[in-house]
Structure 1
């Protein structure tokens, strides 16, 4: 280890008695230090080592200054004699304890730097009062700072003519013995890290220092703010702009700025647009939904849909990236404007009861047509966010046309024929074709409906308005539909090749609900049609018109 030796001529050398009291390697080191503390005759640089060489302890003195070789010879011999006769070395030899130390070299190094005639001088470099290094000459610091300033001039947007250091850099002469000094490159590296330059300039301060943008001149700073305002006005070309202002607290002011922070107006505009927050994304994993993703990330499903156009709950896939936030510029321009937009006027609906339609049936008499109006608003908004919206006026440009709908009130009669014996005609024929099998006894069984034969795919329509209560596979009936017409009346449509309605659907008379097929217990394509009154099948012929 290296030790610093004070420049103190009053220190006396170690006498023989002191050396006799030395009992440890540490005390040998201290004794050597004291031996060379008198620097009045400063001409030598010496390294003293105590080491074990093949279980034979030796004292080795090495010369650092070849010119002092002759003058040093007697002192080297004297020092070696004193160490050899110390109690520590005498005890080791007497107890033959060298074997316990044979595996390691215990080295005491004391480098004493002594200079001809007087103690050498070095220079301490302080940055804001903190020692950062030592140098051989004060001019080295001047040269290093000059180079650092030239680099800043070449690599920044700053005019370094009036540059000043933003940190306090001092150099102080020190009388040191055997101190390591920094090289030119080491000094440059230290200053590069510790020191910065300030130049006269300007800055845009956002929200009292939350964000600060530095510029070479106040003109540059003001041009950035002007450009932001002009861009906001241009984005509202279809409106009458009343006023603009910044949403944040924004000021432009002159003052010293760090040279390395200075931006051009173009760089500043890009930095403002990039915002202060990075875009965050989430990668979808198995078992997640939009709701769980929104909940885990402190947002809402509506916000996710807004940030990710086209996003659908039923189509998110594992590995898909979903944006969680949007970029907010550092500075936003609020635009107060008056704008007139055309808006649709929804049409109403008029419902008229009709005894000509079955209950549950509807008929559109007149289609509804939307109207339109011109609405004038006064709006305050920024970056797509509306702060205030006031309606100033509305002018109808087209009146809406209401939708007119007839709603059926008639019910299906439970009797199949009138007193004259004619058909009640409450149901329409459900499909075209020929009756291939009538209602009644058939062989040993009983046929509960009529079969209307036709080719596969022939349309099948609802015999009257009602609600679908069954739609699907039904054993021997194959694909089958049952429609409830109310008042205890139902109709069944069986052996279909295709079903076009679902349970719960409301259907109108003549509405296509399926297609002729040959599913279930069937020998060929046909529609099996039943009329069911209060749970019992009836002859459909008596109810068809």
Structure 2
């Protein structure tokens, strides 16, 4: 056992001795290598790793681009070919870097001279060889530089400003941004020569050419371009001030100051109603200095007279719904007495819609307008509806609830031009009273006498109370009869002649038999006697045409009939005066 341990210890000791000898040999080799060789070897290894790292980064970037575009199936194959084309030089460089490392390791074993020669040869091939670093960088850098150059050219061109050189009547008169600006200048020239005869030949056809503009100030304004267009003609021109009304040329004057002052004075002297606001000219007056034809020049006084001219004349006005004499007079800034004097047919009455009235209007070259705020009351039309009702005989109609117009208060801005109303705008409204809807009753009550020969032309306040029948005994007759007897078969339906409250329903010992009395609330009471059956009770509300009883012969009666009475404040009335049947 002790010998085995000693033998094992000896083997271990020998192993340690061998490892130490190898370590010493490596150290001695490193000591024998020159500093230049170690530096060159380190640079080569660092360069290889840097290149490898850059290649891996570029490879990862390409993988990311491919991953993002993988969803586009139509680009998959082109991207794959692009990947192969881009990765081929990288793979070559990676294989070349591995080959350099292998050559360097092999040369190091052969000695210092071989290592130095291999190092120089590998460095030259790595950098300047056919597949060297320089060629690889150039292959990548050249397309990138080309793209950058193209982008720079596009960016530069996109920021260039272009203009049109205008050649007019053989002369170059300026640069404009577009043909629309020339058209505006031509329109300005047309306005300036509109009042001059034989001025059309002054307009020539322009020629345009493209140019690069370095500064926007190189563009010629429309007014200057118009001056140059006129100057290029053979017409006699003068520097003046043009007067325009709503962009329409009126004429030219030497100075516009006196005209502006005269127009301002006219506004100041205008006698506007109290409370009028925004007093101004309806048309916009502008003054533009520039070149004008000498024939368009006017004297200042002549221009003032033309702009301030006005006349009054008679005309006709059709009265509108809702117009009154006062409102019509106000529309034309007239007095009520003045309007009546021009229209004697009005006398002291009001005007009807559709009437043609004579009024006075004012027409001015430059009308003056103003705004007057007023509070006016207007009506709100009511609606009309139809309702079926038994309170009206079938085929007849009657207004059950009269319609009433509503009222509202309106705050209105009324614009007057030359004293006549031109427009009005409602600022706010307030309903003073709501309209009441008209209700028109469409008759559904069908009870009529058995024969159409029974004609009653009463007021129609009450309806025929029996479903059929005929008059067997009139009011008074020969026995001081206090009602109207209507004969009909027993059990025939009896209807309430009008809406009201049942004040009695039962047996009457005074000869009426079974009796119903209905109070209609306006002093009138209707009575239904000799009934065979009663279908209502005291205190019950009934409507016109409601089934309340049946014809019979109870009490002092000689046959089936209804004894029908109409009483007013206790007095007996002839029922036929309240019934209207078979009457035109």
Q: Give TM class, smaller chain.
A: under 0.3
Structure with greater strand percent:
1
Which has the larger helix fraction? 2
Q: So what's the TM-score if we normalise by structure 2? A: 0.24
Structure (1 or 2) with the larger CA radius of gyration: 2
Structure of greater relative contact order (alpha carbons < 8 Å, 6+ residues apart): 1
